[in-house]
Structure 1
Amino acid sequence: MQSRKKIVLVATVASSIYGFRQPLIAELQKRGYHIYAFVSEYMQTELDKIWAMGVTVIPYQLNRGGLNPIADVWATYKLANQIRRIQPDLVFSYFSKPVIFGTLAAKMARVPKIFAMLEGLGYTFTEQPEGFSRKAKIIRKIQVILYRLSLPLADKVIFLNPDDPRDLLEKHQIKVKKVEVLGGIGLNLSDYPYQPVLQTENIRFLFIGRLLKEKGIHEFIAAAKIVKARYPNTIFTVLGAIDKMNLGALSQTELDSCIQTSLIEYPGQVSNVSEWIVNSQVFVLPSYREGVPRSTQEAMAVGRAVITTDVPGCRETVVNGLNGFLIPVWDSQVLAEKMIYFIENPEQITLMGNESYRIAQKKFDVDKINQRLISFLEL
């Protein structure tokens, strides 16, 4: 009897397997593949969820944020041994560190096919209003060196948007065998069904994301102050957690002040994101850079107009003036002007929201995207 073919996924957080890869895994299983998932950050309950999917889950060591070369070399050697014992037909790594060290380990293990996917370039490639910090420049140089070592070993390198390969491969002269652009990891659209925009007197602008500088939270709050000065009953809702370890994060003091002055409505981190999208009129993400933001895709699938920045990843979601607006990065004044446009032209909220829905159906259906991804993996 012929043994089933094996595919290894190398990731970091366990939640990415059951949260974002479940439709892909189900399709691969239907095609007769057995899936192994390597995760480095997990809780036992998360491992149980992955096992319940029929996936063999294997914890491994990887310091996602560390820069200890000796520890990374040792972890790569151990990962290669773990992969070698499985003898997979294919290794598919995603996220920055798994792409680097998973690709190196797969080559050491002599895996026949090796694929890597970068879902974004991260904060070291994300320009800030004051320019790149010295630390970010150093880390980026190290990353580029590691990408030069690892990416040429992959049979294909997959990106979500067309800007990332230009900013990484072309600017830093990294030669790879082949590049593909996926266009987003997609959504199960049935989880985010279209809902007509609620006709209310006071418009709600919704922000979803970690309360980080590079997500544009400071611009969102600054724009809210401008809008509230003219239209005080406008509602600004923020969903997401503070990252206290991040220097650019919104501080607890700043957040408390915004809540106490009724500038924003802050439910925190919620599990019913789709309900909050349904109860909003316009989605706002003033991010500095993305892969292709999932939160925006969710809002578009529900049928909401979008205001976002004209930066890599974000510009893949909005056709300016059709389903929302692309604004200059870091510009809270222009953001406020576009918010006021929707307040003063409320009929555009429904018209643009309907266009968002049509774009989401065409571009972000996870079944269509997974068929493309599987073709990229040559399965």
Structure 2
Amino acid sequence: MPNKRILFFVGDAPFFVSHRLNLVEGAIAGGYDVVVACPTSPATDTIQASGARWVEWKIDRGGTSIIGEVRTFLGAVRIARAAAPTIIHAIALKCILHAGFASKLLRVPIVGAVSGLGYVYTGAARGSKAVLRRLINRFMSIGLNRRNASFIFQNRDDAKMVEFARLDRATVYMIGGSGVDLGAIVMRPHPVGATTAVGLPARLLRDKGVYEFVDAARQLRERGRDARFLLIGDPDPTNPSSVTSKEIESWVADGAIEWQPHTHDISTALAALHIVALPSYREGFPKTIIDASAAGRASVTSDVPGCRDAIVDGVTGILCPAKNGAALADAIDKLILDRNLCIAMGKAARRHAETHFDVREVTARHLEIYRHSEMRGHRP
């Protein structure tokens, strides 16, 4: 039996499979026994097939019930005590909060991966959101301001959370995104024909800029552009900013956009596009852009934290102001009208991905962080 064990606390099994399964495979190859605690889902079959042991952990990502959160925390303690890990890796803020207190109680080193600050930190903090933000900062400070706690941020704007929550004793690392398998997503020729295919592959949330994308599609149709606009993904009912199925049906019915459900074959979906758009309000480090770069597709994205870190403006894609459908339309139009520029940016994006986004390098960096965290051991 390996003498090292890593316990992942995850709130969303499909997200973990699509963004982090490489860490399970890399940890096993590095001599770890791996346990993944997350809610039940068809995706847990994939987690177990990768060689990890799955344990059910009930967590409501959008829940705010005090009783529910206490149960989630007690579940985290029970799981951690039974698994007896040498290190814990918690992914996303809510998991980090629960696992942080559990790891403090059990004196286990923890790594918290902040893959975007999410709804609570996106936009202005007013009313209940302001209260929730202050509570999160306070709980972070109580549970995670210690030497055997580490954080991985994907961009320097998000890393300011360390200051907000006063985590001056924790160690901070920067890793730009989850990486991409450059062998699985390859650059294919652009689709032939005059029609330009523009896609937004993401969870269908307001914060991803879905409404701005629909607005831009309508404006470009009014300009007479020969283009298709595709939303690729599903709503997320657990997220307060999710669009609704009725909205999607309405947009499709009036001809504004086409809709394709979430697909595991993102390589084929991207190969059918000329341009990838992600007019998000804020990101950690968007996998949408990482995957688009690997596929050799130019990106149009918002000039906001995370998004601006993922492209080279004017080289691999174009930045535009967030929450501005007209500016998004103008940026997309530039690439629609200049196919040669669109192709050149796509080729540059693939080269950028090969240099910066290789999943093997990302995995190796995580394993190095695990080793450093374990060396710090059980010191509070």
TM-score (norm 2): 0.91
Q: Distance in 2 between matches of 1:251 and 1:46?
A: 23
Q: Does 1:161 pair with 2:155? A: yes
**Residue 14 and residue 266 in structure 1: after superposition, are their counterparts in 2 closer, same or farther (change >3 A)?**
closer
AA matched with 1:120: G
Which range is displaced more, 265-274 or 307-316? 265-274
1:125 counterpart = 2:121: yes
For 1:52 and 1:221, locate their aligned partners in 2 and report how far apart those are by CA, in whole Å.
39
The amino acid of 2:149's aligned partner reads D
* Distance (whole Å) between structure 2 residues aligned to residue 36 and residue 245 of structure 1: 25
Task: Give 1:326 deviation, angstroms.
Answer: 0.8
Q: Name the structure 1 match of 2:8.
A: 9
- For residue 97 of structure 1, what is the aligned residue in structure 2? 94
Cα shift at 1:252: 4.2
Corresponding residue of 2:375 = none
Q: Is the 8 A contact 1:290 1:313 kept in 2?
A: yes
User: Contact conserved, 1:195 with 1:302, CA < 8 A, in 2?
Assistant: yes
TM-score normalized by structure 1?
A: 0.91
Maintained 8 Å contact 1:5/1:88: yes
**Greater CA drift, 93-102 or 232-241:** 232-241
Output aligned runs, 1:64-213, within 5 Å. Answer: 64-111=61-108, 113-127=109-123, 131-153=124-146, 154-166=148-160, 168-213=161-206
- 8 Å Cα contact 2:112-2:152 kept in structure 1: yes
Q: Which runs of 5+ in 1 are unaligned?
A: none
Structure-1 separation of matches of 2:246 and 2:61: 29
RMSD over equivalenced CA pairs, Å: 2.1
Does structure 1 residue 53 correspond to structure 2 residue 47?
no
Per-residue deviation, 1:226 = 1.4
Q: Kindly report structure 1 stretches of 4+ aligned residues shifted beyond 6 Å.
A: none
Instruction: Using the TM superposition, name which of 242-251 and 360-369 deviates more.
Output: 242-251
Q: Structure 1 residues 51, 241: closer, same or farther in 2, change over 3 A?
A: closer
* Kept after mapping to 2: 8 A contact 1:17/1:37: no
1:268 and 1:110 map into 2 onto residues whose CA distance is 43
| CA displacement 1:314-367 (0-9 Å, x = unmatched) | 111111111111111111111111122112222101110011111111111110
1:53 Cα deviation after fit: 2.2
Aligned counterpart in structure 2 of residue 292 of structure 1, from 271, 285, 290: 285
* The 10-residue stretch of structure 1 (114-123 or 69-78) with the greater mean CA deviation from structure 2: 69-78
Distance in 1 separating the partners of 2:260 and 2:76 = 40
What is the Cα deviation at residue 183 of structure 1? 0.7
Q: Which of 1 and 2 has higher RCO (CA within 8 Å, sep 6+)?
A: 2
1:22 equivalent in alignment to 2:51 = no
Q: Distance in 2 between matches of 1:340 and 1:49?
A: 40
Distance in 2 between residues matched to 1:199 and 1:59, nearest whole Å: 47
- 1:327 equivalent in structure 2: 320
Q: Is the 8 A contact 1:184 1:291 kept in 2?
A: yes
Conserved? CA contact 2:212–2:324, under 8 Å: yes
Contact in 2 for aligned 1:187/1:366 (Cα 8 Å): yes
Q: Which amino acid aligns with 1:106?
A: S
Whether 1:234 aligns to 2:233 is: no
Equivalent position of 1:339 in the other structure: 332
